[in-house]
Structure 1
Amino acid sequence: MNTGGRVGIAPKIPLKSYGILVTLFFISSVANNYVYALHVPSTLHMIIRSASSPASLLVYCLIKKQKPKLNKTVGSILISFGVALAMYGGAPPTEQKGKFIYWCIGVTILLSTLITGAFTGLQQEILYTKYGKHPDEMMFYTHAIPLPLFIGIYPQLKNISKNISLDVWVLIILSIISQYYCTHSVHKLGTTETTVTVTFILTLRKFASLLLSSVVFTNNLTVFHCIGTVFVALGTYVYFDYFISNKQVSVSLKDR
């Protein structure tokens, strides 16, 4: 089996090495979806999850014992703030408030998943470094190995499936197909970029999805969307160090 090809009989990464990664992936996925069962406002859910970029940077620097670069820290904070503003501005008024007890439970769970999600990306990077870059294999096993764990929540899944209409099933199937290509691209990206940069790009994707949904579903664009767009653009510019890069190019051209 080559690096990016099909999954063979003998995995390049030992199955036992997937233990930590699969556990983190399962906890993050289930916890993020369980929050909805607690009737936590979806706006609160999305706003907290938009902080995944600085959370990933924090975990990465702590584990790697590295000092975070100023441009990446500022860029991550700016883009997260911009996405949070846009999400808040696009939510219906009834979703901008929630019961205090739900707020407390939701914040606790979601903040925890920020950390587990950051560790998930870092664990992927560690496995790539140790065993080589095999994105297709990793994508397969991280989704196949956790399947038996869902037996514990099978009764809830069964009850939910009974109330799903045919139209919704069609949407679910389409979502699965799109998620496959999305997840595949993310795993490919993880072979060329650090987990911090991957998380940053995923936050950008989330923002683009938010703006696209506003246009497709004809939701009103508010001043929060406009301000959020400015912060996202500025955060992207700062994160990828364009200010310093352009300055260095100008100086080098001047010296010639």
Structure 2
Amino acid sequence: MGLSRTTVHVFAGCCSSAFLMEILMARKPSSANLVTFLQFFFITLYGFIVTTKFGLIGPKIPLKQYVILVALFFITTVANNYVYALHVPTTLHMIIRSASSPASMLVYCCVKKQYPKLNNAVGSILISIGVALAMYGGAPTDEGNKGTFLYWSIGVTILLATLITGAFTGIQQERLYSKYGKHPNEMLFYTHAIPMPVFLGIYPQLKDTSADLTADTWFLIALNILTQFYCTHSVHNLATKETSVTVTFILTIRKFLSLLLSSIMFKNNLTVYHVIGTVLVAIGTYVYFDFFTSRRQGPVSMKDK
């Protein structure tokens, strides 16, 4: 029953956040950095009040141990939000992010110096083919619009790079959990609080963007911030109760549900390549994670939320 409630919370929070983010990016693509900043600010403020009790409770994990994790998490989060402004369709965005399995396998093999198992390799190949088909189907077809295609190419490159940084984020998170114990609320707070000064570097952009927003756009941003916090908090709670396999499976279903809702609500151009790619990603994810069902799993990575 606990799993059922938590799973419902994950679906409700993450699907709502993705739905609102797509509306925001359709209206104001340049607001991606502002939305990211406000998400970080809200989670930081909540964590300072609830988790640290206004700074009276110190961290269980030494702050210096967060440096690498925070850098990887911040780069991955900001980059994933920024590509919305580079003409990468939300459909393609979600399918590429579903390819975290082959990226994690590649990074794990390099770091641990181990060859992948058969299930890992087969699942990763299926997912990679599915992502490639989705990329092909999502590419702009107007050959005369070179600027759009260039931005699209840059956006896809950034998304593929964040798969790698996200995989390293998961490895670093697992290392800290194994060494210092599980402290999901603390980690949620510090991974958002420590990068806050970085936003000072784009303060002029944030100021100009905020001054150009309408009241209804601010309302959508507020809803997105709340649902994103609900999503992130629910994923961290689920990670403390269930194995990585269960969490990843639930989050993968959530991504495909978001994809389906996006196609229905926004009438996105869902080509046959997207459909075939999505099916291959789903099958590949099942094959890949089926290998881990008999093994003890570590915590879910923050890149999956």
Q: Which range, TM-score by smaller chain?
A: 0.7 to 0.9
Displacement of 1:206 after TM fit? Answer: 2.2
Unpaired runs of at least 5, structure 2? 1-49, 295-305
| Partner residue, 1:172 | 221
Alignment check: 8 A CA contact 1:80 1:203 kept = no
Displacement of 1:25 after TM fit? Answer: 1.5
Alignment check: 8 A CA contact 2:70 2:195 kept = yes
For residues 57-115 of structure 1, the C-alpha deviation after alignment (integer angstroms, 9 at most, x for no partner) is 211222123322221332244245446646765788669x7546435544543333222
Runs of 4+ in structure 1 deviating by more than 6 angstroms, as ranges, are none
| Partner residue, 1:22 | 70
C-alpha distance in structure 1 between counterparts of 2:133 and 2:279, whole Å: 11
1:219-234 correspondence runs (5 A): 219=268, 222-234=271-283
| Partner residue, 1:239 | 288
After superposition, the Cα gap between the structure-2 partners of 1:98 and 1:170, relative to the gap in structure 1 and judged at 3 Å, is farther
Identity of aligned residues (%): 71
| Partner residue, 2:173 | 124
1:18-57 correspondence runs (5 A): 18-37=66-85, 39-42=86-89, 46=93, 48-57=96-105
1:134-173 correspondence runs (5 A): 134-173=183-222
For residues 15-43 of structure 1, the C-alpha deviation after alignment (integer angstroms, 9 at most, x for no partner) is 22111111111222233344455x35336
Displacement of 1:199 after TM fit? Answer: 5.8
Aligned letter for 2:103? A
Query: Could you say which structure has the larger radius of gyration?
Result: 1
After superposition, the Cα gap between the structure-2 partners of 1:70 and 1:135, relative to the gap in structure 1 and judged at 3 Å, is same
After superposition, the Cα gap between the structure-2 partners of 1:149 and 1:162, relative to the gap in structure 1 and judged at 3 Å, is same
After superposition, the Cα gap between the structure-2 partners of 1:94 and 1:200, relative to the gap in structure 1 and judged at 3 Å, is farther
SS state of the match for residue 26, structure 1?
helix
| Partner residue, 2:59 | 11
Aligned letter for 1:7? T
For residues 169-201 of structure 1, the C-alpha deviation after alignment (integer angstroms, 9 at most, x for no partner) is 11111111111122123323444545x886675
For residues 95-146 of structure 1, the C-alpha deviation after alignment (integer angstroms, 9 at most, x for no partner) is 9x75464355445433332221211121111111110011111111111121
Alignment check: 8 A CA contact 1:214 1:220 kept = yes
Alignment check: 8 A CA contact 2:102 2:127 kept = no
Question: Structure 1 residues 76-85 or 155-164, which shifts more?
Answer: 76-85
Unpaired runs of at least 5, structure 1? 1-5, 246-256
- How high is the TM-score relative to the length of structure 2? 0.64
- How high is the TM-score relative to the length of structure 1? 0.74
SS state of the match for residue 75, structure 2?
helix
Alignment check: 8 A CA contact 2:88 2:156 kept = no
